Structure 1
Amino acid sequence: MADEPCISRSDHATLKRHAFTILVIEDNPDLRGFIREGLGHFNVIEAADGEQGLLMVGEHLPDLIISDVLMPGKNGFELCRIVKAEEATSHIPVLLLTALGAVEHQRAGVDCGADDYMVKPFNLNILVGKVSNILTARARYREMLLKGVSEPGDESRVVKNAFIEQAEQLILRHLAQTGFGVEDLGRALHMSRSTLYRKISSFTGVSPVEFVRRVRLRKSCELLKQRPDLSIGEVA
């Protein structure tokens, strides 16, 4: 029996709290199935080439992409470069798989923005371990970020990415406009409602509606602490 990937109990518990989706892009159906089975405790979606993979990235906004490099049409380097260049998908980690083991090819993977790189043939348990490490770190960041959004005083301890920072600032800038909601936020960020939903939920684990509510609530709590003479109705 093959060794199980080494995942600590705390990491396993962290991963269970989040419904992560992994996109596997591989033109070899047998290898694609092999990877899917190894990642059975995650939600795995599949694409047979780079073109189909890009369509699925836009449609599903997965939490992690595992992609072959040598594929018909767009190769893994091109796919990774496109994913990392788009605002809506730039946050998605990309792990490249390839038979190209030369240093210059690994450097090409780094240059296109890949977060990790594995040379074929690879050990499935090591792949699963890498995936678990990436997603555990993402889950913990998501939990810290959500705590910073929700609780007064905690936001200073969280390093936020530019997108979440921009979204928060837009909400706070329109705090006096009670009608400012998800549609307005999407327009200000130049994103469709569906893209905004996937992007915010990917970072925070909550919907844009809940995200806006928590940012407003946190600011209201801060104002009440600063101005105890105000009523809840005056800061709501």
Structure 2
Amino acid sequence: MPIEADVRKIILLVDDHQEILDFLTDDLCDDYDIVQAHNGHLAIEVLLRQHIDLIVSDVMMPKMDGFELCSIIKKNPNCQHIPFIILTAKNSLQAKIEGLEYGADAYIEKPFSPSFLQAQIRSLIKNRMFLKEHYSSNDNAGTINPPTIEEDFMDKIQQLIIDHIDNTSLCVEFLADKLNVSRPTLYRKIKMTSNLSPNELINNLRLKRATQLLNNGSYKVYEISSMVGFSSSSHFIRNFQKHFGYSPKEWGSKFQSERQVQFRFG
């Protein structure tokens, strides 16, 4: 079932193999309007001329691969809100980390279940739109607009969290006080633009910073726990494993071992 019965969402499929595009289109076209692109450059052209609600892209493509396309989109304030799903045959932890670092919202390994892809699409469209109304459906949908007030406010919130990431007392009240807004106003603004609660946003940014420190390989788990503001190592480990499916130790050791293999064998 579509997310909204009266408004069909538009999905951009990006793959250099027409048979894969046709397979995905056939599977999704009952619920969504589908646009196809055969590489990253063509996908960007599509984004410049029309509204897109979600992108599903392969990784291995000529001219511009899926990681580069994702990076370009997530760095552009005019389209960074669009959920991005990566499809790839690479099933290593390194590939998953790479996808996350480029900003992908979901990483699906091939072969995959069409029903699983559909579930991911429904979830991302419903819950993870970075700015729900960033693009309007009028004639200005394809034009370049300056950052909105909501974007500027979210940038300030995220920077404030990052600046105080090691503070165990970092909370909704702390943010509201620093930004000189009421707690209800802060909650409403964050929920409206990210569909997360303030505490979820804080937790997500803490965990994202933790992955960067783990990838560095220079810190122990208890040190990282303190550096990202968790009150205890056990609390940090539980949150990390729930979010990523790996314990911090597993994440760090697998990343380091795969990086050594990549270095040795290219």
TM-score (norm 1): 0.55
Does 2:24 align with 1:35?
yes
1:52, CA displacement in angstroms? 0.7
**1:110 aligned to which of 100, 104, 109:** 100
List per-residue Cα deviations over 1:106-154 (Å, max 9, x = no partner). 1110000000011111111111111111112258x859xxxxxxxxxx9
CA distance, structure 1, for counterparts of residue 121 and residue 93 of structure 2: 23
Tell me: CA distance 1:156–1:105, structure 2 relative to 1, closer, same or farther (3 Å).
closer
Does 2:114 align with 1:124?
yes
CA distance, structure 2, for counterparts of residue 22 and residue 68 of structure 1: 14
**1:161 aligned to which of 193, 196, 213:** 193
Q: Report the counterpart of residue 50 of structure 1 in structure 2.
A: 40
For the 8 Å contact 2:85–2:108, the answer to whether it is kept is yes
Extract structure 1 runs of 4+ deviating beyond 2 A: 12-15, 136-139, 154-162
**1:22 aligned to which of 8, 11, 24:** 11
Superposed, 1:142-161 pairs within 5 Å as 142=132, 158=188, 159=190, 160-161=192-193
For the 8 Å contact 1:61–1:89, the answer to whether it is kept is no
For the 8 Å contact 2:3–2:122, the answer to whether it is kept is no
For the 8 Å contact 2:87–2:110, the answer to whether it is kept is yes
Tell me: CA distance 1:99–1:90, structure 2 relative to 1, closer, same or farther (3 Å).
same
Deviates more, 1:17-26 or 1:104-113: 17-26
Q: Report the counterpart of residue 74 of structure 1 in structure 2.
A: 64
1:18, CA displacement in angstroms? 2.8
Paired residues, number: 141
Q: Structure 2: 5+ residue runs without aligned partners?
A: 134-183, 195-266
Tell me: CA distance 1:156–1:109, structure 2 relative to 1, closer, same or farther (3 Å).
closer
For the 8 Å contact 2:132–2:193, the answer to whether it is kept is no
For the 8 Å contact 1:63–1:93, the answer to whether it is kept is yes
Secondary structure of the structure 2 residue equivalent to 1:65: strand
CA distance, structure 2, for counterparts of residue 80 and residue 129 of structure 1: 21
Tell me: CA distance 1:56–1:78, structure 2 relative to 1, closer, same or farther (3 Å).
same
List per-residue Cα deviations over 1:134-180 (Å, max 9, x = no partner). 112258x859xxxxxxxxxx966522339xxxxxxxxxxxxxxxxxx
1:38, CA displacement in angstroms? 1.0
1:13, CA displacement in angstroms? 6.7
Secondary structure of the structure 2 residue equivalent to 1:134: helix
Secondary structure of the structure 2 residue equivalent to 1:16: coil
Secondary structure of the structure 1 residue equivalent to 2:82: coil
One-letter amino acid of the counterpart of residue 127, structure 1: L
One-letter amino acid of the counterpart of residue 61, structure 1: H
One-letter amino acid of the counterpart of residue 20, structure 1: K
> Identity over the aligned pairs, expressed in percent?
28
Tell me: CA distance 1:87–1:123, structure 2 relative to 1, closer, same or farther (3 Å).
same
One-letter amino acid of the counterpart of residue 23, structure 1: L
Does 2:83 align with 1:93?
yes
TM-score (norm 2): 0.49
CA distance, structure 2, for counterparts of residue 13 and residue 78 of structure 1: 29
Q: 1 or 2 for the larger relative contact order (CA 8 Å, sep ≥6)? A: 1
Secondary structure of the structure 1 residue equivalent to 2:4: helix
